[in-house]
C-alpha cells in the first residue's frame, strides 16, 4: 500500500510518502516516526482504553489506535484535536479539561454508560460551544454522571447552552452518548455547587 500522508506540524503540513501495509492510524504514525523521529504524538494503551491518541483524520476526530485506514484512499490528512491549546505537532494540552473532572465519587453507585468514558476529549473537541461560551463541555457532564449520579450541575456549567447538535455522541469512540447525558439535566434543578473556585 502506498500512502501520501499530510501531517500538521505546528503551522504547516509536512507530507510523508509511506509504502507499507498498516491497518490502523497509530501503526501508520509509528511507521512515520521511524522515518522522522521529530514527529510528536501521544499514545499509550494501543487498545482504545486510555484516550490519549485522539487526533483528526481527514477532518474527523478519532482514536488513532482504533481508526482503521481501510477505505480511506491513498491520501490522508492528520491534525491535532481542535478545541484545545496546541502544544506540538499532534499533541494538545488537555489539562484544563482534566482539571474540571475531579469530583468526589458517591459510595455504592452502580456503573452506567458514563463509566465507559475514557476521557479522550473527542466530544469536547467537536463541541461547537466549548471555546466560544461558558458551557462546561460534554466530557464534564459525563464525568459528573459517572461519579456523582445524584448531583446536579451548578449554574456555572451552563447546561442550558447545549445546542443538542449530537456531534459529541456521534463521534464518541465508546458510544457513551454525552448528549443524552446532558439532556438529563434540567436548568431548573441546579443545586450542587462543586465548581466554584475553578
> Which one of 60, 92, 124 terminates a domain?
92
Say if residue 62 is in the same domain as residue 79. Answer: yes
pTM: 0.69
Check residue 70 and give its pLDDT: 92
Strand order in the sheet with 75-79: 12-19, 2-9, 75-79, 54-57, 60-63
Tens of pLDDT, residue by residue, the chain (198 residues):
789 999 999 889 999 999 988 999 999 999 999 999 999 999 887 777 778 899 999 999 999 999 999 999 999 999 999 988 899 999 998 776 666 555 555 555 555 778 888 888 999 999 998 888 888 889 988 888 877 655 666 677 888 888 899 999 999 998 999 998 888 775 533 333 333 333
**DSSP letters for 55-115:** EEETTEEEETTT-B-TTS-SEEEEEPPTTS-EEETTEE--HHHHHTT--PPPTTPPP-GGG
> Which one of 92, 112, 132 terminates a domain?
92
Query: Is 108 part of a structural domain of the chain?
Result: yes
Check residue 94 and give its pLDDT: 77
Say if residue 102 is in the same domain as residue 147. Answer: yes
Say if residue 7 is in the same domain as residue 38. Answer: yes
Say if residue 112 is in the same domain as residue 127. Answer: yes
Say if residue 44 is in the same domain as residue 126. Answer: no
Query: Is 198 part of a structural domain of the chain?
Result: no
Query: Is 195 part of a structural domain of the chain?
Result: no
- Structural domain harbouring 39: 2-92
Say if residue 109 is in the same domain as residue 138. Answer: yes
- What residues are paired with 8 via a beta bridge? 13
> Which one of 92, 123, 146 terminates a domain?
92
**Overall number of domains in the chain:** 2
Query: Is 40 part of a structural domain of the chain?
Result: yes
Sign of CA dihedral 172, 176, 177, 183: negative
Say if residue 168 is in the same domain as residue 105. Answer: yes
Identify the DSSP state of 157: G
Contact 156, 195 (CB under 8 A): yes
Say if residue 67 is in the same domain as residue 105. Answer: no
Q: Which residues contact 166 (CB under 8 A, 6 or more apart)?
A: 179
Query: Is 21 part of a structural domain of the chain?
Result: yes
Amino acid at each position: 500500500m502506498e500512502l501520501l500522508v499530510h501531517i500538521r506540524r505546528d503551522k504547516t503540513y509536512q507530507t510523508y510518502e509511506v509504502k507499507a501495509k498498516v491497518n490502523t492510524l497509530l501503526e501508520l504514525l509509528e511507521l512515520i516516526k521511524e522515518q522522522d523521529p521529530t514527529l510528536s504524538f501521544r499514545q499509550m494503551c494501543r487498545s482504545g482504553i486510555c484516550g490519549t491518541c485522539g487526533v483528526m483524520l481527514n477532518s474527523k476526530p478519532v482514536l488513532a489506535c482504533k481508526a482503521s485506514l481501510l477505505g480511506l484512499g491513498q491520501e490522508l490528512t492528520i491534525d491535532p484535536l481542535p478545541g484545545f491549546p496546541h502544544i506540538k505537532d499532534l499533541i494538545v494540552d488537555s489539562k484544563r479539561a482534566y482539571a474540571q473532572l475531579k469530583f468526589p465519587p458517591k459510595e455504592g453507585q452502580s456503573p452506567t454508560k458514563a463509566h465507559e468514558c475514557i476521557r479522550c476529549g473527542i466530544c469536547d473537541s467537536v463541541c461547537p460551544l466549548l471555546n466560544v461560551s461558558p458551557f462546561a463541555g460534554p466530557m464534564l457532564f459525563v464525568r459528573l454522571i459517572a461519579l456523582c449520579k445524584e448531583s446536579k450541575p451548578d449554574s456555572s456549567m451552563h447546561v442550558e447552552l447545549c445546542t443538542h447538535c449530537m456531534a459529541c455522541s456521534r463521534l464518541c469512540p465508546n458510544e457513551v452518548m454525552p448528549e443524552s447525558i446532558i439532556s438529563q439535566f434540567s436548568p431548573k434543578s441546579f443545586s450542587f455547587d462543586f465548581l466554584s473556585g475553578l
